[in-house]
Amino acid sequence: MCMGDSASIIYYRWFQRGKAFISSIAVVIRVLMSKLIRYSPWLAHFNTGACNGCDIEVLASITPIYDPERYGVKLSPSVRHGDILIVTGVVTKKAAERLRRLYEQMPGVKYVVAVGACAYDGGVFKGSYSISGGAGKVIPVDAYVPGCPPRPEEILRALLILLNRERVKESERH
């Protein structure tokens, strides 16, 4: 073995250790972030092809009547500041590409909540030539809120269950 070989082995080991160190820091940051997000989740809302029914309920759920700010829940001005992406409606083929891009633009610790029957599997639009399917076909979904459209209380409750701030029976988790 020549000198060059042993030096490259040492560099390789340092490189591996550095990578392991950085990934452990990333895990710690993710855990801290998820704890912080738990008490101030910012929402980003995207309509991927809804009839507007679910959007009205999502907007209703962030009005003072339901007062989501008592849970720290706010609508974020940009998806880049969002922690939870709320997807309403069936995902059309055109919107699928945008949805994927928005999801990638969200910062590290992120959740997706699919609101309504359409965002689950296409709902009334199922079988149409222009749809990709439910939100779960395009991006990973953490919670589904059933209904056509769901009530605002249910949407807020889904957020709280997602953030482990409301106790539910295991059978009620979706």
Q: What are the residues binding ligand SF4 (CB under 6 A)?
A: 50-51, 53-54, 88-89, 116-118, 123-124, 148-149
> Which C-beta is closer to ligand SF4: that of 72 or that of 136?
136
Query: Exposure of 33 by Cβ count < 10 A (0-12 exposed, 13-18 middle, 19+ buried)?
Result: middle
> Which C-beta is closer to ligand SF4: that of 71 or that of 133?
133
Euclidean distance between CA atoms 26 and 9, whole angstroms: 26
Cis status of the peptide bond prior to 146, with omega within 30 of 0:
no
93 binds another protein (CB under 8 A): yes
92 binds another protein (CB under 8 A): yes
Cα atoms in the 13 Å half-sphere on the side-chain side of 33: 16
- Minimal distance in Å, beta carbon 93 to another protein? 4
Report residue 72: phi and psi, to 5°.
80, 5
* Cβ atoms < 10 Å from Cβ of 71: 18
Binding mask 111-150 for another protein (x = CB under 8 A): ------------------xx--------------------
Mark the segment that binds another protein (CB under 8 A) among 10-18, 37-45, 86-94, 102-110: 86-94
94 binds another protein (CB under 8 A): yes
Looking at the chain, list the stretches that DSSP marks H as alpha helix, in order from N- to C-terminal side. Answer: 3-39, 53-61, 93-105, 117-121, 152-162
In the complex, the residues that contact another protein under the rule CB under 8 A are 92-94, 129-130
